[in-house]
Amino acid sequence: MIAAGFVKRQEQDELFDAVFTRVEPRTVLTGMRGSGKTQLAAAVAARCEEEGWPLVAWIHAASRKEIIVDLYEVALRIDIDAPKNIPLEVVVRRLMNNLRSANGSNSLFVFDNVENPDDLRDLIPEGTGVRTLITTTRHLDWDGPGWLRLAVGAFDREQSIALLCEHTGDTHREAADRIADALGDVPLAITQAAATAQQGVYALSGYLDRLSHHPLESNISRLEGANYPDAVGIALLMAYEQVLEQLRTKHPQQERIAVSLLGALSLLAASGVPTHWLLRLDGDSDAVRDTLSSLKRASVIQESNDGQKTVIHRLQGHVYRETYLSNQKKLDEASARTAALLSGIDVDRLENPEQRRHETQHLIEQLLSVTSQDYSHSLFSEPQVSSKLAETLEYATGLGMSQLALCLTDSVTQACDALGPHHPDTLASRNSLAGTYRDAGRLDKAIALYEQNLEDSIRVLGPDHPTHPHLTFQPRRRLQSERQARRSHHPVRAGFHRPQPRPGPRPPQHPHLT
């Protein structure tokens, strides 16, 4: 997504030349968080869309599972054969083979925020006309043949000064120069400083004074080992503090909403949260919209180009967690509110099967991210999250998305570790996972889980509890009958669960999948 007030970089010309003129098949943008890598990649994707490229795909690449899920969705979009009993990895290989044998039409794959280059093993598209663009903080993994590496660094000083002066209407270049020096010309920090000064309606000299005398010494150098000046963290802290203070004075209700929004955005998927979910954070959706607008005007959060997702920059989210959420009580409150947000997503209320599929896909994406993001693991201590995990597995299985749902096996493990193996929501999520295995044709896995659940439920509820046959015995017997029938090539007797037919391919969900 391209942020409001996007500043053209000198690296942009070289990048455009590589992608559009020289047709470089593999380009990687490296740089610290906040340097503008994703913005540059979004500018490339936007031009591809403007030129009518038939395939522009935006892949969230923080983990291998997320990469596979997004590529699987691309495969569905271009009608790659994907029966529900075929694993996602096989469908993705079919996508790769299709691209290699295609007619050479232009296509772009952006892998945003690659954390581990090994996650891309066998997943990099190849073919005539195919361009792959990667953004990453990893500098040393791209020197092999076939890669063009472009380093994305800080603004040059004149660019920082110009941005600060233009956005604030203040011509005090010396103050702008001193702010830029304190912030190390880090693009995100410079842009944020300009927005904070503008929204606070004070001169650059006033902003410099606040930056220099802020009582908190914030050090975010631990993030990715990058050497950020301390003032960068303070600038990002001042940004959200100012919005909360302004709302507290004028609209106390909106301050509470803003705290809930920032907590959810900082704990859920770093790639963004569906905006229509956030509107349910408070009974007054108009107040939520106004609060979102205030946070966007202050550049604390952003909205995707299509308006479908709301995002907090990874660096801003890190600072919020390290400062506001460093208080355990506030973290607990944020986790509880975020869990309630997830719990309130009701797929069954949607009448359109395609809408149900989209909403289930959103839930899977969020749960995958919560599982892979260490700082999000506190959410699994909330029973509502484990309960929603069980429901999501059931939604996906009923919609013919069982292979996609099996990506949540690690999520079930995380929930079990957090709540304990005997917690009712743990039993429910494992039982739902067993049903997903069954629907995907992996009967041995399903039987093993049903048997494990039987033992644990007897231990918790006692041997005579009426739910045991419903929960475990009947599914296990049916599975054993089906497995025997498959081995002997006989049809299964009527009465065994028949999954609903698979809906058609979904429309684009990522900002640049067209």
102-113: pLDDT as tens digits: 877 899 999 999
> With 90 as the cut, is the pLDDT of residue 481 above it?
no
Amino acid at 111: F
Q: In this prediction, what percent of the chain has a pLDDT beyond 70?
A: 86
Q: What is the mean pLDDT of residues 221-247?
A: 85
Confidence grade of residue 495 (pLDDT, cut at 50, 70, 90): very low
Confidence grade of residue 489 (pLDDT, cut at 50, 70, 90): very low
For residues 437, 440, 443 and 449, what is the CA-based torsion angle, rounded to 10 degrees?
0
Does any domain span residue 5?
A: no
> With 60 as the cut, is the pLDDT of residue 461 above it?
yes
Considering the domain architecture, whether residues 284 and 394 belong to the same structural domain is answered as no
Task: Summarize pLDDT for 382-440 with one digit per residue, the tens.
Answer: 999 999 999 999 999 999 999 999 999 999 999 999 999 889 999 999 999 999 999 99
Question: In this structure, what CATH number is given to the domain that contains residue 292?
Answer: 1.10.10
pLDDT of residue 224: 52
- Report the mean per-residue pLDDT for the chain: 88
Considering the domain architecture, whether residues 315 and 249 belong to the same structural domain is answered as yes
The DSSP element (H or E) to which 29 belongs, if any, is strand 26-30
- Token code pair at residue 316: 């801003």
Question: In this structure, what CATH number is given to the domain that contains residue 55?
Answer: 3.40.50.300
CB 8 within 8 A of CB 129: no
Considering the domain architecture, whether residues 143 and 272 belong to the same structural domain is answered as no
Considering the domain architecture, whether residues 108 and 161 belong to the same structural domain is answered as no
Count up the domains in the chain and report the number.
4
Does any domain span residue 438?
A: yes
Task: Summarize pLDDT for 231-240 with one digit per residue, the tens.
Answer: 999 999 999 9
Confidence grade of residue 482 (pLDDT, cut at 50, 70, 90): low
Show the beta-strand stretches assigned E in 105-226: 107-114, 130-136, 148-151
Backbone φ and ψ of 87, nearest 5°: -60, 155
Does any domain span residue 258?
A: yes
Confidence grade of residue 510 (pLDDT, cut at 50, 70, 90): very low
- Token code pair at residue 512: 């640049």
Last residue of a domain, one of 185, 213, 241: 213
pLDDT of residue 73: 95
Buried b (16+ CB within 10 A) or exposed e, 338-355: bbbbbeebebeeeeeeee
Considering the domain architecture, whether residues 196 and 251 belong to the same structural domain is answered as no
* Total length of the chain: 514
Considering the domain architecture, whether residues 353 and 461 belong to the same structural domain is answered as yes
**What is the rounded distance in angstroms from the CA atom of residue 293 to the CA atom of residue 299?**
10
What CA–CA distances, in Å, run from 72 to 88, 403, 506? Answer: 6, 10, 11
CB 26 within 8 A of CB 143: no
Backbone φ and ψ of 27, nearest 5°: -125, 135
Backbone φ and ψ of 233, nearest 5°: -60, -40
Considering the domain architecture, whether residues 351 and 482 belong to the same structural domain is answered as yes
pLDDT of residue 496: 30
pLDDT of residue 92: 97
pLDDT of residue 498: 31
Considering the domain architecture, whether residues 321 and 436 belong to the same structural domain is answered as no
Neighbours of 445 (CB within 10 A): 17
Pick the residue with more confidence: 87 or 473?
Answer: 87
Does any domain span residue 376?
A: yes
Considering the domain architecture, whether residues 400 and 451 belong to the same structural domain is answered as yes
Neighbours of 322 (CB within 10 A): 18
Confidence grade of residue 478 (pLDDT, cut at 50, 70, 90): low
Domain that holds residue 431: 347-488
Question: In this structure, what CATH number is given to the domain that contains residue 416?
Answer: 1.25.40.10
> With 90 as the cut, is the pLDDT of residue 452 above it?
no
Considering the domain architecture, whether residues 379 and 471 belong to the same structural domain is answered as yes
Last residue of a domain, one of 327, 344, 361: 344
**What is the rounded distance in angstroms from the CA atom of residue 437 to the CA atom of residue 482?**
13
What CA–CA distances, in Å, run from 316 to 204, 302, 321, 453? Answer: 21, 11, 9, 42
Does any domain span residue 319?
A: yes
Does any domain span residue 507?
A: no
Does any domain span residue 371?
A: yes
**What is the rounded distance in angstroms from the CA atom of residue 185 to the CA atom of residue 10?**
14
Considering the domain architecture, whether residues 355 and 334 belong to the same structural domain is answered as no
Amino acid at 222: R
Q: Among 24-33, 143-152, 191-200, which is the least confidently predicted range?
A: 143-152
**What is the rounded distance in angstroms from the CA atom of residue 319 to the CA atom of residue 342?**
23
Considering the domain architecture, whether residues 131 and 263 belong to the same structural domain is answered as no
